[in-house]
Amino acid sequence: MLKNSFFSFEVEPLLPVIEDGDDNNGGTVDDRDIWGEVTLARKPITSIPFDAEGLADHFGIPSLPELVSRFLYEQAHPNLDIPLVDVPINQCPPPVGKIRIYPSAVATFYAPSNISGIGGMFCEQIWAVSSWRSGPARYDCIFIEQDTNAEGFRGLHAARVQLFMELMHERRKYPCALVTWFSVIADEPCPEMGMWIVKPDSARNGDCITDPHQHYLM
C-alpha cells in the first residue's frame, strides 16, 4: 500500500477559500505562511447518510467501513511497522462516529512560476461530486508527494479522489480523502508526447483492482 504523504487537512480554512459551486477553480495566493495544505469546503453535502454503513451502500463502496476503521487505527499508530492491511480488523476502532462528505477541497501549495502569487503560492480547487453543474460526475486527479529528493513526476504518485470526508472519532475530527491509485506504465515519459502515461492499478489478471484494495483512505 502506498504511503500516506499528502498535505495536511484543516477543518477551518486558514487561507482564502473558493466557495462551493464557484466557477473559479484556482488562482494565486499572495501569502507565504505555509509550504502547502488542503482545506475542506465550508459546507458538507446534505441529504445523504452520516454513518459508514449507510455511506457504503449509498456510494457502492462495500469496504468503506473497514477502510475507515483502518484509517483511524493508522492515526493512532503513526509509526506502524507493518502494512496497514495486515493489522487484524478486530484491533481497529469500529467506525461508529458521524461522517460528513464534502464536495471539494482547496489545495494551496508552493509552486513558484509566472502565474503564482508574489510568494510563489498557488491554489486549486479539487472536486469529487457525482454531478458537476447538473451534468456528468467530476472526480479530479491529484499528485501526492512520495519522494522530495526525486525530480519532477518521479517523486509523485497519481490518484483520483472519490470522496472528501470528515470523520468524528472520540470527539476529534479527522479530515481525509478516499482515493484510487494510478501507476506509470514505463520508467520514462512518452518519447512522442514528453509526458508520463499512467493507468489504474490492476490485478494480475488485468482487471481493475476491486474493493478493498482499489480504494485507500488518507
Averaged pLDDT for residues 77-105: 92
Which pLDDT value is given to residue 21? 47
What pLDDT is recorded for position 93? 94
pLDDT tens digits, 128-175? 999 999 999 999 998 888 888 888 888 888 899 999 999 999 989 999
8 Å CB contact between 118 and 30: yes
Higher pLDDT, 130 or 121: 130
The pLDDT of 182-211, averaged and rounded, is 73
pLDDT beyond 80 at 113: no
3 state SS of 89: helix
166-to-29, 34, 213 alpha-carbon distances in Å: 25, 22, 21
Q: Out of 12-26, 38-52, 194-208, which region has the weakest mean confidence (pLDDT)?
A: 12-26
Q: Are 108 and 89 in contact (CB under 8 A)?
A: no
Residue 206 confidence (pLDDT) = 40
Summarised one tens digit per residue, pLDDT across range 13-43 is: 333 333 444 445 655 555 556 566 788 999 9
Q: What is the mean pLDDT of residues 90-95?
A: 94
Mean pLDDT for all residues in the chain: 78
Query: Sorting pLDDT into bands at 50, 70 and 90, what band is 107?
Result: confident
Checking phi first, is residue 123 left (phi over 0); if not, alpha (psi -120 to 50) or beta?
Answer: beta
Q: Is the pLDDT of residue 109 over 80?
A: no
Question: How much is the pLDDT for 51?
Answer: 96
Sign of CA dihedral 62, 65, 68, 73: negative
pLDDT (0 to 100) of residue 98: 95
